[in-house]
Chain A
Amino acid sequence: MAKLRVATTSLAGCFGCHMSFLDIDERLFSLVEAVEFDRSPLTDIKRCGPCDIGIVEGGVCNAENVHVLREFRRNCRILVAIGACAINGGVPAMRNNIDLWDCFQEVYQYEGGTEGRVVPNDPELPLPFDKVHPIYEVVKVDYFLPGCPPPADAIWRLLTDLAAGREPRLDYTMLHYD
């Protein structure tokens, strides 16, 4: 049987969901038997090719997040939102009711530690949005796995269910929002 091709990325997230993914521990050995990774922090491949499953951690907080998210949607047959941030904005969305310029001033100008106390303005930096949004407000998402982060067992269940062509089903203790 051909290996499933899986891509993963972290947008406006903390990589905590990826860490929880690695927490499946020795089951990683079974996973690499069945799965080949495309674009992912684990492979450092920079562009996503055609995949069976795309796993997205984090919400959308800037223009680059949207480009990456759309690339995933174009290429992945099944797109999965993983973790609180991808599903409702999470911790980054705490800034949603604070003016963006106030945020920048607080971070770069009022506090010490940044050189010259200027707000970075390099053209290579992605344009930030005034609010952080969950990914399903930008692209269609096929499955959601909540949690901050979701437990490793829940990630394993989701992946094995999808790999087997089953509708993913979580036990009660695997579904939590915190």
Chain B
Amino acid sequence: MSGNAISIDGVAVAFEPGQTIMQAAEAAGVYIPHLCHHPEFAPHGSCKLCTVKVNGRNGASCTVGAQPGMVVENNTAELNDGRRALTQMLFVEGNHFCPFCERSGNCQLQAVAYFLNMTSPHFEHFYPPREVDASHPEVLLDRNRCILCELCVRASREVDGKNVFGIAGRGIQARLVVNSHSGRLGDTGLAATDKAVQVCPVGAIIRKGTAFRVPVGKRLYDQAPISEVGTHVTGQGHGKT
């Protein structure tokens, strides 16, 4: 291997200087499971699903810069076992009930779980009490399904310029909060067309009145895995953007 290239599972992948392993993989069409990463935003490195082995050591591929000659392991049984355990923990930490979630079939958490062949959440459920905020006329906020990826926080701050969302509390107390005097979404300047509404990878931020335009069974991840159809669903269940 020569020049600006790394090896991912034995396949040479070219990269531009400054790219992360994740960015190089995406450009080459190589799927690395992830949830908090989004190509339009700076790396966050919090969900750890994109953990790969880099020259024998674990690292989050969304934060590790590609270097010439790096040997990266990605789609291995060991790494996918770890990713499945992380995904199972995300499921039991929240209240993720796919049968009655509007995002089912377009949900990236669900899609990653399908990809990893997760048949049960394995761990004991927390069933944490989480609040639903339906005060906004066009947008529903259901914290039961929030995985704290902070994509809405980043999008609202960096793209929408509104700073509507934030994370408060630590550890198991961490929760998505709304920046308004009442703490309610209806009292913010959030618009249904905001980037913050579109980037939610799960069913936590839902645009009202649109959720069932595409029926369950005909959605993005119903027929093909996320590794083939990609991750960038608009927030509204219209399919791939």
Contacts and interface: CB of A to CB of B under 8 A. Distances in A.
Nearest to A168: B119
Majority-rule SS of A interface residues: mixed
B175 to A, nearest CB: 14
Interface residues of B, number: 29
Contacts of A144: 119-120
B231 to A, nearest CB: 17
A88 B104 contact: no
A144 to B, nearest CB: 4
A148 B100 CA distance: 10
B223 interface: yes
A178 B117 contact: no
B105 interface: yes
B96 A88 contact: yes
B127 interface: yes
Contacts of A97: 95, 127-130
A175 B119 contact: yes
A88 to B, nearest CB: 6
**Size category of the binding interface on chain A:** 20 to 34
Contacts of B113: 177
A57 to B, nearest CB: 13
B105 A178 contact: yes
B1 interface: no
A87 interface: yes
B127 A93 contact: yes
Interface string B96-126: 1111110011000010011001011110110
5 contacts: A93-B95, A94-B97, A134-B121, A143-B119, A176-B105
